[in-house]
Amino acid sequence: MTIRTGLKKRLKPGWKKEMRQKLNYEDVGFAKIDHHRIKRKGFPETIFGQGKTPDQTAKIAEKIYSNGQDVLITRTNKESFIAVKSILQNAEFHETAKIIAISRKKQTKKTKESICVLSAGTADLPTAEEAAVTAEFLGNTVQRIFDVGVAGIHRLMNNLKKIKKSKVVIVVAGMEGALPSVVGGLIDRPIIAVPTSVGYGSSFKGLAALLTMLNSCAPGIAVVNIDNGYGAAVMAHLILRK
Amino acid sequence: MTIRTGLKKRLKPGWKKEMRQKLNYEDVGFAKIDHHRIKRKGFPETIFGQGKTPDQTAKIAEKIYSNGQDVLITRTNKESFIAVKSILQNAEFHETAKIIAISRKKQTKKTKESICVLSAGTADLPTAEEAAVTAEFLGNTVQRIFDVGVAGIHRLMNNLKKIKKSKVVIVVAGMEGALPSVVGGLIDRPIIAVPTSVGYGSSFKGLAALLTMLNSCAPGIAVVNIDNGYGAAVMAHLILRK
Amino acid sequence: MTIRTGLKKRLKPGWKKEMRQKLNYEDVGFAKIDHHRIKRKGFPETIFGQGKTPDQTAKIAEKIYSNGQDVLITRTNKESFIAVKSILQNAEFHETAKIIAISRKKQTKKTKESICVLSAGTADLPTAEEAAVTAEFLGNTVQRIFDVGVAGIHRLMNNLKKIKKSKVVIVVAGMEGALPSVVGGLIDRPIIAVPTSVGYGSSFKGLAALLTMLNSCAPGIAVVNIDNGYGAAVMAHLILRK
Amino acid sequence: MTIRTGLKKRLKPGWKKEMRQKLNYEDVGFAKIDHHRIKRKGFPETIFGQGKTPDQTAKIAEKIYSNGQDVLITRTNKESFIAVKSILQNAEFHETAKIIAISRKKQTKKTKESICVLSAGTADLPTAEEAAVTAEFLGNTVQRIFDVGVAGIHRLMNNLKKIKKSKVVIVVAGMEGALPSVVGGLIDRPIIAVPTSVGYGSSFKGLAALLTMLNSCAPGIAVVNIDNGYGAAVMAHLILRK
Amino acid sequence: MTIRTGLKKRLKPGWKKEMRQKLNYEDVGFAKIDHHRIKRKGFPETIFGQGKTPDQTAKIAEKIYSNGQDVLITRTNKESFIAVKSILQNAEFHETAKIIAISRKKQTKKTKESICVLSAGTADLPTAEEAAVTAEFLGNTVQRIFDVGVAGIHRLMNNLKKIKKSKVVIVVAGMEGALPSVVGGLIDRPIIAVPTSVGYGSSFKGLAALLTMLNSCAPGIAVVNIDNGYGAAVMAHLILRK
Amino acid sequence: MTIRTGLKKRLKPGWKKEMRQKLNYEDVGFAKIDHHRIKRKGFPETIFGQGKTPDQTAKIAEKIYSNGQDVLITRTNKESFIAVKSILQNAEFHETAKIIAISRKKQTKKTKESICVLSAGTADLPTAEEAAVTAEFLGNTVQRIFDVGVAGIHRLMNNLKKIKKSKVVIVVAGMEGALPSVVGGLIDRPIIAVPTSVGYGSSFKGLAALLTMLNSCAPGIAVVNIDNGYGAAVMAHLILRK
Amino acid sequence: MTIRTGLKKRLKPGWKKEMRQKLNYEDVGFAKIDHHRIKRKGFPETIFGQGKTPDQTAKIAEKIYSNGQDVLITRTNKESFIAVKSILQNAEFHETAKIIAISRKKQTKKTKESICVLSAGTADLPTAEEAAVTAEFLGNTVQRIFDVGVAGIHRLMNNLKKIKKSKVVIVVAGMEGALPSVVGGLIDRPIIAVPTSVGYGSSFKGLAALLTMLNSCAPGIAVVNIDNGYGAAVMAHLILRK
Amino acid sequence: MTIRTGLKKRLKPGWKKEMRQKLNYEDVGFAKIDHHRIKRKGFPETIFGQGKTPDQTAKIAEKIYSNGQDVLITRTNKESFIAVKSILQNAEFHETAKIIAISRKKQTKKTKESICVLSAGTADLPTAEEAAVTAEFLGNTVQRIFDVGVAGIHRLMNNLKKIKKSKVVIVVAGMEGALPSVVGGLIDRPIIAVPTSVGYGSSFKGLAALLTMLNSCAPGIAVVNIDNGYGAAVMAHLILRK
């Protein structure tokens, strides 16, 4: 297996040799950091920030970074960002996406082909941004088209040409989650549907949107967990670099 | 309260007086037939055929008919039709709709305004026809536009003008049930959404479509029970004659 | 399509021409405001206040208002009201309904026909008021009859005559949600049933009431999402102006 | 503990002594018949017929009967009745209730106080009859008032006086299951609510009616399992003989 | 209908005449107080405290009390108690039960027959006390036997004699909710089962206990809503005074 | 790892060497038979008969048997038994358990310690027998105590001494599934609880019993899937031979 | 948009022009055949055979085929095959997959890159074959690796090299559905997870497997509906030809 | 019944006689402390700390301790620890496990055989530690192997030898909960699976993991409630000392 463009540049020179000398994973007491993942999966282990203290977050981030890898922290917050930033000065905070990204060098080379991220409403933005920022962190060119839900379908139609230029489409929608079905009937790209927990009452925290997407009558759609913008981005990344 | 056009003609002359002389309902042993309903609700008591034997169906039908009312039997079958037909010769069977209708005279005067019945797929036809035949039985002009699901949205767009001519729209859809949301974003008519049990797996026998419709981001949509074409038609009828 | 009475008066003179010169929607960065909706749907885009900061709320409100449209903000609070009021002085706060309404001029002409809003219990008031205030904002005459749940059915019976004078009836109920069924058996008007999340234990945040309403044995009832007073009002509005 | 009237007469003379000489239960290979139950609970062990062959049913029936007790078999069918009848000639089949009852002597003395069994629709009859026949078998006077659902509430109102004469009321209803709430608001008797699996779509085989009854806003209502007419009758019996 | 002992004494002299002169209910703006209920149902309208401000609670309490009725407020708290107490000095707060009771005179005469309230664990106490205090307020003699869950069944067995002395048994249990089934197999009294939301994980806030109780293999059990101690007490009260 | 008593005797002499010469599994076209499992897990791969034709069943059975292993087929039927028997003459059919067992020689040596299988009702017998027959097939001594449900708890108490003699207890129960909790409060053995799909209405095909067992307030209980007598037996077997 | 290799060859010469002359879809009475789909989506409209009579199936198949497109019919059976074959002689029946495929000429040129279809158990074969046959019909090279579920993980490990050679992996699994997570941790290809309804009890007809896959801790996995082998194949096809 | 090693040492000398002189349980007002449990079940009554005030916790702890038993408090916090410590100086707080343990003397003799506790992710640690600390408190040797989830299966494989040395294995996992299935396919020890509420969206607070574990295709696995580390430890303890 070779490391593809867009990921190689995330590793400091000489990392490969260094890594072989270590074990596949490193035991830091409360966690076994999977340094081997970047080889197996094509992207580094991501830190799921939710439920971790700023201190814990910073500690794991440092460990991974010092190992020669770039670091992505999802579902995190400003407090954790301050803690991480005090150790790793090049950390950046994407507020809407709730993501901290720590890259060795500015990403200048992006993929020629792009991932399109659509969102149905403004309330779906945090999940849509989680997808977009993750995809960019992994080296992909991302095209954002937000607030094009089915209640005003002309907004979608006006953007159809732009959407078709991308090779993979991530569609983020809450409430009734109908957007992926409509998009799926209009384009011939693989669509990754992301239900969000946006809604109330019988949306049952995203269950309604999830079921809608799983039952789509338009084929060429696959679904990830509710609010899982990160997972959608990784899937899109793997499709693009296939 | 006065009886509106479209219903009056369903009653034999002199019924009003006759009815006043009877009690509000009639006890036929295993049922209390609600002869009073036509006054209270504007349409006669309908026979829910499912689970009734041909014999029971025919017996109740005769009772209601002999009372001066026209009769509608839903969720019924050919066997029951034969039993009813042998007693009430003017009975008609609508096979796809699974409806037996027994009218005193041919409906010649229909409403000027119309109800539009849309269906997403061909498998939704039985429910769509249940709605259409019921609405016609109640004296309404009905416009059928079938198989215009969101997976091929140009089929819907091509029919938009026709749809807008109707005053109420019934939208029947199974699987992900996204059609009402899309229609709801395009027109300014009250929409009655009917989820169907068409689908498999996580459609959970219509639950997915039901939740989709309840969570629609387009306002102006109200929902009836899964596969309840009859209920949608009555609602549309009440709206039209309002 | 022509704009009906009750809506026209919400638009400042000359809006039609101005709007044609603009695009169908306006991109304010985090949202695409659908200025075209008032033409397509017969009512302006409403701001769903929940989850929006006072600042965001005020900003979107200003954008829509400056476009010549009146503004309705639902599921909002006092903090947002203060922010909106500081920009748009004619903003009014309906506390129980949790609605901010901003109208160009006092609504003097209301519809001749009325919408009746019934509520089962006092805890259902916020949803009932959301429906009533929205319906009034859209130019309709509204009749409120609250706290007439089935546990003391004489309260309902005493109000039956008044209810029958309305052309559409919105019935709001939590807990077991039986009120629409009972009302549906007594009147011949289209009924929009609104389940609320009022209750505890096996009410499962409104699920019990929702299922009750969907399974009503009285036809002529259609259901909206749990706590969705706004949606019920829009449906009733579309029915009335049909 | 003494055996109450209505039960004593079900036992052949001398049973008490005989029973003491036996063990508390009898092992017939595939079952331990609980002969002791009539002492502990005030009624004999009932045979749940569903899933048992005619042969098995007849065998257990004979065992219990030969022990000096009367026998009740619920959820059974004609085939099992023929098998039982060939052994125990005084067996009687209640077809709608799906019950076989085998009594030593005709029940002549019934309780002075009565149990009222209400049903909402004709489709609820099997469950309502299961309740009524069981209650009668246990020696109670039963009053049946069927088909008085909330969609035609005048039918209920006309029967109110009769209902109030009973000391306990069993209310059987499917679909939305609203009847117990309405009855509960009108009378001051303990109400046992029985949801039935009658309905379709989002009734989810009785779940909707069950939730409705559990969430009733009228106090004085307790609920048994879906379609459990037998359980309701036993509860009513225990209340009456309290 | 006559008012039974235990309730009569809750009314100030002359109330009957006074009430006839009033309407059946009183409109206090946000609520229609059902003064007629005590006649129809045998107990006064209870105030459901949850979600009401201390001020609202006190206001409704005063209204009902000034009407000549005693007052019961459930699911309330210390703040509301202080507000009520400042107006109605004889108000009493039952902390564990979360109940405020306001009685005209000390209840001296209680029923000869008693209601037994069992609880499975210590965490079920609030619901068990809600049942016990309500039952006492309605004039019943109550016997409390707490913490006798099935995990240590000897505690239940040791209390069996005492339990059998009561005429009705309320069984309160959370977690797996097995206690009513076991009690139901041991005694011949009507049992009202109250599931509580005590538990975690797959207890799903009381759903597990609720289902257990509904499916009990021991007949003579009926179930009320999760945590509904009040409802169980009213049911028991109606059974006792039957 | 060494093969324990009770399993070794199921293998024909010399199997160990033979097996090492083969691959770990064998590809028979539509299945990869896992011959290695007996080494890894201590018992041979079992054939899940449900959904397999008699022919398929016989073919896989022959393959495994000819490999030197004894064969167990669960959830099978008489037709499959005839097909298997025609090839492997020593096949035996356990009708209630729905199991075909094919052993090289009569099991004469059983374990000294025993597994106790309890069942709540007679309808739970098929699952209880599936557990008992499987456990015996694996070489264990099994003690059956059936029909000791909580509705007649004296039947359980009378058997307590016998139960305590076993080292592991499997408790099978449908409906409300309370038996494991009660047993768990009385003995100090590991208990494997098996919910069954026996019941109706809100038992939801075993869900009620499953939740009951998972939420048991008595520790020392672990649960397997609904109707999974086989899985319980394997767990008990592993515990016993630990 | 251009038609990609693998699809072009499915169309008879001159189809493009012919199609432009027709409308976008064709109304055959009960269906609007979407001839335009092949242009929009890159594959022809597929016939969902379930619930269609042999006659209906054959009629739609003929319509599509005569339009110049190849035809795929899923969820069909032998009876429908006979009906189709009598009209279209080159129809082929894939029994396990329950698919009828009608191609103009033998597919000789397949894609260089391949799709790998994994299945966990033998019972998952119908869904796995539905995926594999569909993918092949669309012109893709398919690699089948069946019966490699996690209970015998060495079978998976032995096939890892082969799996890694494919560019997209479809993983089909019922019961607990854990296979995609394990595969997802081992390879860096996009994985499409297909839960199947294989299982019993708390598998709730595939719900357990569905939830497992949606919650996978290994990123790079997206999920389709239960038993939706067809949808997985279309998604994989779109990814491959991206 | 005799008290096994590992428990005896938890009791102060002479306890047996003292206990016989007391009743089986002790009534401290709001609870009946089950002093008899240690004899019946082999371990003392544990205090479930959740929902108890520091004061209540300390009071019950003192009662049990003064009775001669060691004390275990689960789901507790620092505040309660301070309250307990001020009374019982040898109390120890296990922060991650949220457990307070109060032992008469240092546990020096542990069992020769060990229990292995595996966890899938770092977020599962609190539950894994609850299991480990409880097992140690009961006198068992515990081996912890954390963070070995299936997304990086080499971490599990590297620890396989160590795992196989234990006699019972507890596997703790959230999200998709696949770890027990994989472990179950690799070893021949009884496995106790503990789903955790770790996850989001369609994990539904542990439901997804729970269903996965119940449906495991690898036999030899039994499941406890979500987050129930304590229950798993007691089960493992009973298996080990069997």
Chains that touch A (3 or more CB pairs under 8 A): B, C, G, H
H, E, C per residue of chain H: CCCCCCCHHHCCCCHHHHHHHCCCCEECCCCEECCCHHHHHCCCCCEECCCCCHHHHHHHHHHHHHCCCCEEEECCCHHHHHHHHCCCCCEEEECCCCEEEECCCCCCCCCCCEEEEEECCHHHHHHHHHHHHHHHHCCCEEEEECCCCHHHHHHHHCCHHHHHHCCEEEEEECCCCCHHHHHHCCCCCCEEEEECCCCCHHHHHHHHHHHHHHCCCCCCEEECCCCCHHHHHHHHHHHHHC
Angstroms from H153 CA to nearest CA on chain G? 7
Contact E212 F216 (CB under 8 A): no
Q: How many CB pairs under 8 A join A and G?
A: 102
What does the mean pLDDT of chain F come to? 86
The pLDDT score that the predictor gives to residue D27 is: 59
Which pLDDT score is estimated for H78? 97
Region(s) of chain C under CATH 3.40.50.1970: 114-241
What does the block give as tokens for A21? 């000398």
What's the CA gap between H233 and H117, in Å, rounded? 9
Set of chain C residues whose Cβ sits within 8 Å of the Cβ of D204: 211
pLDDT of residue D109: 73
Q: Is residue G60 within 8 Å of G33, Cβ to Cβ?
A: yes
Assess F230–H contact: CB distance below 8 Å, yes or no.
yes
Distance of CA A190 to the CA centre of its chain: 16
* Residue B144 forms contact with G (CB below 8 Å): no
**Nearest-CB residue to B224 (from C186, C222, C230):** C222
Q: Which of B32-46, B79-93, D156-170, H174-188 has the lowest mean pLDDT?
A: B32-46
Counting every residue written for chain G, the total comes to 242
Write the residue in B148, B158, B201 that is nearest to G225 by C-beta.
Answer: B201
Residue H29 is predicted with a pLDDT of 55
Q: How far, in Å, CA of H72 to CA of H56, rounded?
A: 14
Q: Residue B109: what pLDDT? A: 73
User: Among B119-123, D9-13, E5-9, F81-85, where is mean pLDDT lowest?
Assistant: E5-9
Q: CA torsion, points E76, E77, E78, E80, in degrees to nearest 10?
A: -50
Higher model confidence: residue G23 or residue F195?
Answer: F195
User: Hey, what amino acid is at C49?
Assistant: G
Interface test with E, best of F191, F217, F223, F226 (most E CBs within 10 A): F217
Q: In 10 A of CB B109, how many CB atoms?
A: 9
C7 and chain B: CB distance < 8 Å anywhere? no
Q: Does H172 touch chain G (CB under 8 A)?
A: no
Q: Write out pLDDT tens, residues G190-236.
A: 999 999 999 999 999 999 999 999 999 888 999 999 999 999 999 99
Candidates F190, F231, F234; nearest CB to H242: F190
B207 interface with D at CB cutoff 8 Å: yes
pTM of the model: 0.89
A23 and chain G in contact, CB less than 8 A: no
Binary contact (G190, A224; C-beta < 8 A): no
Write out pLDDT tens, residues G103-149: 987 666 788 899 999 999 889 999 999 999 999 999 999 999 999 99
CB B235 within 8 A of CB B138: no
Residue G35 gets which letter from DSSP?
T
ipTM score for this prediction: 0.86
Q: Which two tokens stand for residue A172?
A: 């983020």
Tokens of A69: 């890898």
SS (HEC) of chain A: CCCCCCCHHHCCCCHHHHHHHCCCCEECCCCEECCCHHHHHCCCCCEECCCCCHHHHHHHHHHHHHCCCCEEEECCCHHHHHHHHCCCCCEEEECCCCEEEECCCCCCCCCCCEEEEEECCHHHHHHHHHHHHHHHHCCCEEEEECCCCHHHHHHHHCCHHHHHCCCEEEEEECCCCCHHHHHHCCCCCCEEEEECCCCCHHHHHHHHHHHHHHCCCCCCEEECCCCCHHHHHHHHHHHHHC
Whether residue E242 and residue D240 make contact (CB cut-off 8 A), yes or no, is yes
The predicted pLDDT at position F207 comes to: 97
Query: Is the pLDDT assigned to residue F131 strictly greater than 60?
Result: yes
Q: Does F190 touch chain H (CB under 8 A)?
A: yes
Q: E111: pLDDT confidence band, cut at 50, 70 and 90?
A: confident
Contact across the interface for A202 and C207, Cβ inside 8 Å:
yes
Min Cα distance D66 → chain E (Å) is 23
Closest CA to D46 of D1, D100, D117: D100
Q: Is any Cβ of chain D less than 8 angstroms from the Cβ of C160?
A: no
> Which residues in chain F have Cβ-Cβ distances shorter than 8 Å to E208?
211-212, 214-215
pLDDT tens, position by position, H71-122: 999 999 999 999 999 999 999 999 999 999 999 876 667 888 999 999 998 8
G221-223/G191-195 β-pairing: parallel
Question: CA nearest A205: which of H199, C174, F207?
Answer: H199
Who's near E111: CB < 8 A, 6+ residues apart? E5, E6, E139, E140, E141, E240, E241
CB H122 within 8 A of CB H147: yes
Q: What is the mean pLDDT of residues H185-197?
A: 96
For an interface test with H, give the residue of F160, F188, F217 to mutate (most H CBs within 10 A). Answer: F188
The position carrying tokens 């000819």 is: F66
Residues F173 and F196 sit within 8 Å (Cβ to Cβ): yes
Does the pLDDT of residue A222 top 90, yes or no? yes
pLDDT at D10 over 80: no
Tell me which chain E residue has its CA closest to the CA of residue H39: E152
How many residues make up chain B in this entry? Answer: 242
Touching pair F, B by Cβ (3+ pairs < 8 Å): no
| Whether H238 contacts F190, CB under 8 Å | yes
Please give, rounded to a whole number of angstroms, the shortest distance from the CA of G207 to a CA of chain F. 14
CA–CA separation, G104 and G109 (whole Å):
14
H9 pLDDT tier (thresholds 50, 70, 90): very low
Tell me the chain B residues in contact with residue G225 when contact means C-beta distances shorter than 8 Å: 200-203
Cβ atoms G120, H217 nearer than 8 A? yes
pLDDT band at C5 (very low <50, low <70, confident <90, very high): very low
* Dihedral class, residue F219 (left if φ above 0, else alpha if ψ from -120 to 50, else beta): beta
Residue D68 confidence (pLDDT): 85
The average confidence (pLDDT) of chain H is 86
Distance CA F95, CA A236 (A): 53
Res A69 pLDDT > 50: yes
Q: Which residue has the higher pLDDT, C115 or E1?
A: C115
Cβ contacts (< 8 Å) between C167 and chain B: which residues? 242
Task: Please identify which residue in the block is written with the tokens 């201190």.
Answer: A55
Stretch C184-213: mean pLDDT? 96
G24, B148: Cβ pair inside 8 Å?
A: no
Mean pLDDT of chain D: 86
Residue C4: per-residue pLDDT: 34
Q: Does F216 touch chain E (CB under 8 A)?
A: yes
Question: Are residues D235 and E221, on separate chains, in Cβ contact within 8 Å?
Answer: yes
pLDDT digits (tens, 9 = 90+) for F42-53: 566 789 998 889
Q: Does D187 contact E41 at a Cβ distance shorter than 8 Å?
A: yes
CA distance D145 to B30: 10
Dist. CA B19–CA E179, nearest whole Å: 56
Question: F118 or E155, which is more confident?
Answer: F118
More confident residue, F185 or H30: F185
Residues of chain A contacting residue C225, judged by C-beta atoms under 8 Å apart: 200-203
Q: Quick one: pLDDT at residue G37?
A: 55
E168-174 mean pLDDT: 97
Q: Is the pLDDT of residue C93 over 90?
A: yes
Higher pLDDT, A92 or F4: A92
Beta strands in E89-146 (DSSP E): 91-94, 99-102, 114-119, 141-145
> How close does chain H come to F183, measured CA to CA in Å?
11
Residues of E in contact with H229 (CB under 8 A): none
Residue F40: per-residue pLDDT = 56
Q: Give the separation between CA A230 and CA A130, rounded to whole angstroms.
A: 6
* Averaged pLDDT, B12-36: 51
Q: Please identify, in words, the CATH class of the domain defined by C114-241.
A: alpha beta
The neighbouring-strand residues paired with F116 are F143, F169
